[in-house]
Structure 1
Amino acid sequence: MTTAWTTPERIALRDAVTAFTQDQIVPHLPTWEDEGRLPRELHAQAAKAGFLGVGFDEAVGGDGGDLVDGSIVTEAIVQAGGSTGVLASLFTHGISLPHIIDSGNADLIDRYVRPTLAGETIGSLGVTEPGGGSDVANIRTKAVRDDDHYVVNGAKTFITSGVRADFVTTVVRTGGEGYGGISLLVIDKDAPGFTVTGPLRKMGWHCSDTAELSFEDVRVPAENLVGEENGGFVLVMQQFVNERLGLAVQAYATAQRATDLAVEYARQRETFGKPLITRQVIRHKLVDMQRRTAAARALTRQAVERSIDGSTTDPSIILDAVLAKNTAVEAVEHVVTEAVQIFGGMGYMRESEIDRHYRDARIIGIGGGATEVLNDLAAKLLGY
């Protein structure tokens, strides 16, 4: 039966991304992990292949499609042997460009969106600060208007693609305390007073560069304001549904890849004269891994489809995204742990793919809203 996920066009997209991943990503991934970053050329190659801009309207330079298409790209890259670290780095524009597009500012779209979707430039999103992460309304980085510029002072940390980025869509405080004083500015990397420290050393996502950013009297043209002054909080909140669903897809895709790798290894590995998979305890582990993965995939895909047809400010859709992400996080954390256990000593070796998935999976329950924060948000949305 054909579904929204198995149309001929989407099967062709999956096949194309799979082939690209196997040819252009997998052979080089160990080197990129050691170097701590992806080559800029990969962005141009992905754009030429026709999927860097999947999910972005052709009117702004994208390849068209919606969140289902974007999810298929994610699934295909992970299933073909890629990683969520690759996804975080190659597709950072998925969190750095939507605010600019939603603002409808044609000048900013021409200067930042189009060249990024063409693989010519790299953008990142600057939200998290040294003093806090999920508490966006408590941002401290200040931007003070001075004639036709804003003067920015402050710092950001844990910024994905912050080392390689040419610009940062930055959350700043232009007004008073709370969410009402938040704005978004696009800040060019070469602006005087803008300092980048990194790449930071991390548990996982080794091929995705992460940086600390410092702003000291950085002058940013007022024309780089995204949307209305003090109206940035709404722009940020509108993108959380897509970001959380994207992470949920990464989680269940990783869980499925880890399960498949564990099944393959259990069939090949012999213990006491028999394949590991003949042991009941191993078969039961594998069944449980598959069950949790399937549940996470079903819940997330349902939420993805609903988000396309609805509004990202609809409380029921926000709740769908929160529940999907936390369910998928729970699934992947369990599955990768069990997969490493099934692999035994080999699962602990850096040369094994499952080692990378184990390390990479841990961030998904932190990024895009920590699991505990999202549980509390779910309780409020449910009226508890």
Structure 2
Amino acid sequence: MSKVPIPFSEPPWLMGHPSPYYTDSHKKWQKTCRAMFDELMADAGEWERQGDVPESLYSQFAAANMLIPNLSSPLPVQWLHKLGIRTLPGGLPVEEFDSIHTLIYADELARSGSLGPGGAITTGMAFGVPPILKFGSKSLQERFLPDLLTGKKRICIAITEPSAGSDVGNIQTTATRSKDGKHFIVNGTKKWITNGLWSDYASMAVRTGGPGPAGLSMLVVPLLHTKGVNMRRIKVQGQTAAGTTFIELDDVLVPVENLIGKEGMGMKYVMLNFNHERLSISIGVNRLSRVAISAAFEYCLKREAFGKPLMDQAVVRHRLAKCGAELESHWAWIEQFTYSLTKMSEEEANRELGGLTALLKAQAGRVIESCASTAVLLFGGNGYSKSGQGEVVERIYREVPGARIPGGSEDVMLDVAIRQLVKNFQRKTKELETAVEPPSGSSKL
């Protein structure tokens, strides 16, 4: 007998509400993802408690072709066909995969109630491979993509430094050319690099020129078993299983052929890459918020205080209502936003939606803060405990800073959003003024 879902426990379309966004392909993909993640991620909570995932988990995802959906849509169909990958689980043709499929994948993966185990598997692939795919030369792609796309090798994205987080233009890690011109010599440090511990390579932002954004480039830098590279785990508040890493680079030799795209274009590549990252964060964080508030809802139905269920207390219903409104409003925006991506070219989306992506991500942080803190309060002492009934909401509460800071801290995201909206408004105003032709002929009778 199927169970009636707890309110707010699923997005409206999975609660039986009509939706214009999801095709039969999307509905089948959702069932496929749920079945696979229920199996692959069944012990996610325990892994997060332990602070690590099994070594075999990445290869399990790779063998099932479940790393591929982390890439932004459209997928690199030609490369996948070349590698013999024509369908994803459930028989989904790689040509058919769109941004709604990405939405479903990220949402289902976060149902475990923790971003750590999923992040341990997906983050490097999701954000480290796209710069090579989108901006790398054909020869660079041929050297790295076959092993990366099939999961034989791992990669991470390495942007952040001790003194340069959201301020990407302040990156200090240098890459100077060797005397023979065959190598870049890389020196510096990278901090808070998810998946770094296990990565063979990093798509890394480095300074090849002078100060400021114009001096930045991107390189594929070898990490594991590389002379001059030292990596150690950073213990963080949430996502403990994701392999957050501190990387020291001391005269690391990197072939000049490992340059991604053009020298001096690193800032642009990093900024464009952030769009996919911020949308992915928004989706996963929304689901985490959903897990928290629906767990609290269920708890309030059965927990009694002062002689009656908590749900009979008006203040409890008021708290749940406010969180539910914030959660579902954010989800509706995510759906509409993602649908827009299926109808726009990548160039259009970057131009029109880049700032809104930042705003969407900032709002995700505000939603999870509200939902997680409310859930902890409603669970009371149980919500303060790392085991027992409130374990999941206590864990989600520790994820809040990890939602509001990585991928661009909240205050920076709010500023980025408005600056791009102003820029687009001014550009369109100028285009409109230029398009208006002056009246022809004489005004004299």
TM-score normalised over the length of structure 2: 0.81
Give the 3-state SS of the residue equivalent to 2:196 in structure 1. Answer: coil
Give the 3-state SS of the residue equivalent to 2:190 in structure 1. Answer: strand
- Go from structure 1 to structure 2 and tell me whether the alpha carbon gap of 1:284 and 1:350 turns closer, same or farther (over 3 Å shift): same
Aligned to 1:23: 39
Aligned to 1:88: 119
Q: Distance in 2 between matches of 1:288 and 1:159?
A: 35
1:298 correspondence with 2:314: no
The one-character-per-residue Cα deviations of 1:52-86 (angstroms, maximum 9, x if unpaired) are 2114323333753233212211111223x242222
AA at the equivalent of 2:401? R
1:193 correspondence with 2:208: no
Give 1:212 shift: 0.7
Give 1:101 shift: 0.2
Residues 232-381 of structure 1 mapped to structure 2, 5 A cutoff: 232-308=266-342, 309-310=344-345, 311=347, 314-351=350-387, 352-381=391-420
Q: Do 2:202 and 2:221's aligned partners in 1 also have CA atoms closer than 8 Å? A: yes
- Between 201-210 and 352-361, report the one with greater CA deviation: 352-361
AA at the equivalent of 1:148? K
1:116 correspondence with 2:148: yes
Identity of aligned residues (%): 29
- Go from structure 1 to structure 2 and tell me whether the alpha carbon gap of 1:195 and 1:95 turns closer, same or farther (over 3 Å shift): same
Give the 3-state SS of the residue equivalent to 2:41 in structure 1. Answer: helix
Give the 3-state SS of the residue equivalent to 1:163 in structure 2. Answer: helix
Q: Do 1:60 and 1:109's aligned partners in 2 also have CA atoms closer than 8 Å? A: no
Q: Distance in 2 between matches of 1:279 and 1:132?
A: 47
Aligned to 2:171: 139
1:129 correspondence with 2:180: no
Q: Do 1:151 and 1:217's aligned partners in 2 also have CA atoms closer than 8 Å? A: yes
Give 1:297 shift: 0.8
Aligned to 2:28: 12
Q: Distance in 2 between matches of 1:46 and 1:177?
A: 41
Q: Distance in 1 between matches of 2:400 and 2:117?
A: 13
1:45 to 31, 47, 60: 60
The one-character-per-residue Cα deviations of 1:4-62 (angstroms, maximum 9, x if unpaired) are 3x2222222222222222222132531x2244222332122223333221143233337
Q: Do 2:44 and 2:114's aligned partners in 1 also have CA atoms closer than 8 Å? A: no
Give 1:249 shift: 1.0
- Go from structure 1 to structure 2 and tell me whether the alpha carbon gap of 1:379 and 1:12 turns closer, same or farther (over 3 Å shift): same
The one-character-per-residue Cα deviations of 1:210-229 (angstroms, maximum 9, x if unpaired) are 11111111101111111111
- Go from structure 1 to structure 2 and tell me whether the alpha carbon gap of 1:291 and 1:250 turns closer, same or farther (over 3 Å shift): same
Residues 33-182 of structure 1 mapped to structure 2, 5 A cutoff: 33-54=48-69, 55=71, 56-61=75-80, 63=88, 64=94, 65-79=97-111, 81-92=112-123, 93-146=125-178, 147-182=181-216
Q: Do 2:364 and 2:403's aligned partners in 1 also have CA atoms closer than 8 Å? A: no
Aligned to 2:15: none
Q: Between Structure 1 and Structure 2, how many residues are aligned?
A: 380
AA at the equivalent of 1:288? K
Q: Do 1:241 and 1:312's aligned partners in 2 also have CA atoms closer than 8 Å? A: no
Q: Distance in 1 between matches of 2:281 and 2:128?
A: 15
Q: Do 1:77 and 1:83's aligned partners in 2 also have CA atoms closer than 8 Å? A: no
Q: Distance in 2 between matches of 1:359 and 1:110?
A: 41
Give 1:121 shift: 2.2
User: For structure 1, which runs of at least 5 residues remain unmatched after alignment?
Assistant: none
Q: Do 1:183 and 1:233's aligned partners in 2 also have CA atoms closer than 8 Å? A: yes
The one-character-per-residue Cα deviations of 1:156-213 (angstroms, maximum 9, x if unpaired) are 111111111111111111111111111111111222111112x111111011111111
Give 1:331 shift: 1.0
RMSD, aligned α-carbons: 1.9
Give 1:252 shift: 1.3
AA at the equivalent of 1:194? V
The one-character-per-residue Cα deviations of 1:313-367 (angstroms, maximum 9, x if unpaired) are 7443112212211222211110110011111111111121111111113211111
Q: Do 1:25 and 1:82's aligned partners in 2 also have CA atoms closer than 8 Å? A: no
- Go from structure 1 to structure 2 and tell me whether the alpha carbon gap of 1:26 and 1:349 turns closer, same or farther (over 3 Å shift): farther
1:224 correspondence with 2:263: no
- Go from structure 1 to structure 2 and tell me whether the alpha carbon gap of 1:22 and 1:273 turns closer, same or farther (over 3 Å shift): farther
TM-score normalised over the length of structure 1: 0.93
Q: Distance in 1 between matches of 2:349 and 2:324?
A: 33
Give 1:287 shift: 1.4
Bigger Rg, structure 1 or 2: 2
Q: Distance in 1 between matches of 2:163 and 2:136?
A: 32
User: For structure 2, which runs of at least 5 residues remain unmatched after alignment?
Assistant: 1-17, 89-93, 424-445
Give the 3-state SS of the residue equivalent to 1:59 in structure 2. Answer: helix
Give 1:2 shift: 5.0
Q: Do 1:99 and 1:235's aligned partners in 2 also have CA atoms closer than 8 Å? A: yes
Q: Distance in 2 between matches of 1:82 and 1:52?
A: 20
Q: Do 1:300 and 1:325's aligned partners in 2 also have CA atoms closer than 8 Å? A: no
Q: Distance in 2 between matches of 1:361 and 1:39?
A: 25
Q: Do 2:120 and 2:242's aligned partners in 1 also have CA atoms closer than 8 Å? A: yes
AA at the equivalent of 1:108? L
Q: Do 2:160 and 2:191's aligned partners in 1 also have CA atoms closer than 8 Å? A: yes
AA at the equivalent of 1:340? V
AA at the equivalent of 1:285? R
Aligned to 2:422: 383
Q: Distance in 1 between matches of 2:33 and 2:135?
A: 30
